[in-house]
Chains A and B, each alone.
Chain A
Amino acid sequence: MSRSIVPEAISRQPWQMIIPLCGLVGLGAAVLYSAAGGSLQPYALSHVVRFCVFLVMAMVIARMSRNLFRMAAYPIYGAILILLVLVELIGAVGGGSQRWLNLGFMSLQPSELMKPAIVLVLARFYETLPHAMTASWRGLVPAGVLIGVPALFVLIQPDLGTATAVCFGGVVTMFLAGLPLWWFLGAGGAMMVIAPIAFFTLLHDYQRNRVLVFMDPEGDPLGTGYHITQSKIAIGSGGIFGKGFGNGTQSHLQYLPEPHTDFVFATMSEEWGLMGGLFVLFVFTVVIGWGMGVARRAPDRFSSLLAAGMTATMFFYVMINLMMVMGLAPVVGIPLPFMSHGGTSMLTNMICLGTIMAVNRWNQGRGSLG
């Protein structure tokens, strides 16, 4: 690399990840352009603009020092928890469920921010936890509370998808923190027992319905199963090379629900075919793989858990969304990172990405040592 010509701040960026990611965002913009009926408004342009703004933000996050992250972990977690409670209170006062906090200039969804925050706070917790206690109850209970409290608040909003995402990020971090394996196996076993019971008692009707329909989407082709069926039709009818840019009928004739957010992948697949789909998978593989690599290279416990947890959070988005649109998971309102139109999810994912980039920078700083 011509280190002498390009400034160090730029050359040190992880371009091997950023360039494919830009390609993905570009494809996303193209799909949104088509979904809007061949227009930059209202989706494509704001999508790109947001990405650029948040990319800069991620780079700024990446400049922050490890100590700053360490010190900010608990305050940030606490602040977001308070926001979550606030949302509940306002929602209770306003009547009905509420996920958004209207700040006047923008609406904030605190549950989204909780996803990276939970990883951050857990990384900090396990860093400070004496190693010997990792396998004891003191390694489990506080972490469980840290995950459980926000998850509960999100769950009663109700937002099963985000609650699951919060738990997933937290649990993966705990897993990587070295908690005894049998705890996870035991918890998994318990879940298998509790899940059917919870399914029939705790879930809301519409949530239960979604799961049932997922089991048999054709059983209700015009009701809830409609989403899954139409999404599969969109992906399947695209073939290997797709119907061509702007020619997707499923999205343009509104058979596809939410063609620009949750089902953006189906919209893309219909027009770009299997090739487009494999490209998307490739980019996510690069990004996730890079994130895991950063975590593995991280020298200390805090950074490695932080990077791995953030990667897991992003992975969770990708996995659930793609499984949903392909009919492998029930319909849950989780967008596809970097492709779906929507500010909050982009913000969350870019925070995750920025954090991983920060860890990457710390690695490079240490690089000379190791």
Chain B
Amino acid sequence: MKFNFRRLIRAPHVTNGTLRNSFDRRTIVVGGIQGGIGCLLAARMTYLSVFENEKYKLKAESNRVNLSLIPPRRGWILDRHGQPLASNRADFRVDVIPERMSDPERTIAELGKLLSLTPIAMQDLQDKLDRSHGFAPVEVASRLDWERFASVSVRLPDLPGVVTQRGYSRFYPTGPSVGHLIGYVGAASAEEYEKDHDPVLLTPGYKLGKDALEKFYEKDLRGTPGARRVEVTASGRIVRDLDTREDVPGKTIKTTIDAAIQDYAARRIGPESAAVVVMDCQTGDVLAMASMPSFDPNSFSDGIGRLEWKMLSDDDHVPLRNKVLRGLYPPGSTVKPMVALSFMEAGLDPNESVFCGGGLRVGNRVFHCWQRRGHGQVNMAKGIYQSCDVYFYHFAQRIGMDPIAAMAKRLGLGQEFPLPVAGQSYGTVPSPAWKLKKYDKQWQTFDTVNATIGQGYFLVNPLQQAIQASRIASGRIIMPRLIHGHEHEKQASLGVPEEHLAYIRQAMSDVANGPGSAPHARLPFPDIKLAGKTGTAQVVGLNVGNGKGGLWKHRDHGHFICFAPADNPRYACSVVVEHGGGSGAAYPIARDVLTYIFDKEKGMEVLTELETKWGGTAKERLDARFRAYSAQYGVGAPKVSPEEERRKLQGADQPDDPRQPISEAQSPAPEPADEADRPAPAPSPTATPATSPGAGGSPQ
């Protein structure tokens, strides 16, 4: 090298000889470099294949073998006769795994075309993608027909991140009827995955329970995922199966529900906002627990779309609240049999009577009977079947609140029950001690007066009312049960003398079958009698509305509790119709449900006729409503933020503060003395005139 430099500086004389010389030297340099590169290559190759062999072997293997979890088939939920309330059906589905998509926009557009998704579905899909967390699969479509499924399957190599699957999806045969009872399933959210790191949650197609039974029994229903090891090509095409481990389906849950009664009850509610509970009053088995309006759990499983969301939140009937467990209502006159029992236990002779002239002065105020004309001479039985308020005003003052509150709790009011549900609002049984603690105020006589007719601070849920009816009917401490298989457990006696119960049952039977307040509640059978009690609970004071007409939100709640057959009780039922305008809205539902239990054909006849009037079954009406919404709003529905959705769903989930009246419209003014300008204080159901438009007279 040095030599060359010198030659350059000296402007060397180049000859053939020097060139030959330089050629020889330079070929040695070139050859040396070539040899060096050869050695480098050999060393590199040795390094890769000997020293890094293990690492690359593993990588080649993980390239070649694809382990995929097979989502386990979810356990079925059966009714007491083995009929499925929730089952699985085979379906074809398409998911995307967002972080594996190379060009999400193009892929999604392509999928939209292949699957012919509507603009609304595309919008919902986009919302889900925006909210997704990369690793978790997002459902594009399920329940596909073979053609559409195949059209995606064959294009998989061009659609990275797209997963097609033949699997199972949850199916609820009766749809909205079981929405609140069973709950629904959905893909795991990031939070749910945080709590439970089961890898099956990330399997495309796996859904976990989001509400009610589905959520409560999640662990049992889940089962064990299967796994499949397959050899795949780079483009994801499966070459062959290496081995497969079958999934273990989740456990079957058999409930005490009777699917037919549940469906009937839900459908019979019709367009009302109502709850119906039917129980076996000998065993405590819950046969039906319907809250309407509801949602279709089938359409919830792929997430709640914007339009669906708008539809549900626009509805003032609160379809997301399970009214059976989370709805709290002043029970109205349905507490009267219970109050009468406490009177008898306190030693009141049932034949002792009081004159009802349409009202009673308590302190400086007159509490009216609903029947302004008065009931004349009223004993206990008449007090119940005619629902005379004055009778209870009068004797409650003598007996006092504490025995009444104790009896209310014995019969299940204000209690929480050990049920596999997501939450119960247990309400309030007011008592002097409670009021002192809660409001730091002394109990007043008018508080007792209010409470005896189920107003004031009294708040119960429909399940408690059904239990109350069951306990009166059976005389035992009936506990509600949702899970089948405990029939042998005989419940202990209430400790209420049988003759007291017989007296009350007879009076309740007279409500429907005798000279009572609800003659139209009579069952259409000569030999089966229904015993019941009506109730009308005011939600606003009379200065706002009369409770019958006007704003829906201002109308009275309608209640009815009953059991049948009256002489040998088997079934107990409670009905609450929110803002139904009085008990006249409630007892026809109870009557028809019981009719259906005893005679399916007769019951169905009534329902079919009603449903023609309403425009189809609950599911048909829900679907029609959705169609109307999609025609009206299209993709214009506002986006629902995940926080808002969570808040609303949990809002419906969590019980209202049980110590607070359910709404601002809750009528009974706890301090009537302060409202001197109001002659007829809210607590007394003064506004049930005989001219009420309610069906079947104006029962109270």
Which residues in A have some Cβ–Cβ distance to B below 8 Å?
Answer: 131-135, 172, 175-178, 180-182, 222, 230, 232-240, 249-250, 253-255, 269-270, 273-274, 277-278, 281, 284-285, 288-289, 292, 295-296, 301, 304-305, 308, 312, 315, 319, 322-323, 326, 328
Contact = CB atoms under 8 A, between A and B. Distances in A.
Interface stretch (B44-52, B321-329, B547-555, B613-621): B44-52
Contact of B34 (A295, A304, A315): A315
12 contacts: A233-B60, A234-B60, A236-B55, A238-B53, A239-B49, A239-B53, A250-B63, A269-B45, A281-B41, A301-B16, A323-B37, A326-B41
B56 interface: yes
Nearest to A312: B30
A176 B19 CA distance: 9
Contacts of B24: 296
A182 B40 CA distance: 27
Contact of A322 (B16, B41, B234): B41
Contact of B102 (A222, A249, A304, A305): A222
B23 A178 contact: yes
A296 B34 CA distance: 15
Given A178-B18, A270-B60, 5 more contacts: A135-B12, A236-B56, A236-B59, A305-B23, A328-B44
A289 B41 CA distance: 16
Contacts of B35: 285
B13 interface: yes
Contacts of B44: 326, 328
Sort chain B's interface into a size bin.
Answer: 35 or more
Contacts of B234: 230, 253-255
A277 B64 contact: no
Contacts of B15: 131-132
B30 A172 contact: yes
Contact of A295 (B5, B11, B27): B27
Most buried by A among B5, B41, B231: B41
A291 to B, nearest CB: 10
Nearest to A131: B14
A176 B23 contact: yes
Contact of A301 (B19, B57, B61): B19
A233 B543 CA distance: 84
Contacts of A236: 48-49, 52-53, 55-57, 59
B457 to A, nearest CB: 66
B632 interface: no
Given A176-B26, A178-B23, A254 B235 contact: yes
B326 to A, nearest CB: 49
Contact of A182 (B5, B46, B53, B239): B5
A181 B4 contact: yes
A274 B23 CA distance: 36
Nearest to B24: A296
Given A253-B231, A255-B63, A292-B27, A237 B57 contact: yes
B30 A175 contact: yes
A234 B53 CA distance: 10
B333 to A, nearest CB: 71
A237 B52 CA distance: 8
User: Which of A133, A181, A270, A312 has most B Cβ within 10 Å?
Assistant: A181
A233 B45 CA distance: 12
A340 to B, nearest CB: 16
A115 B5 CA distance: 31
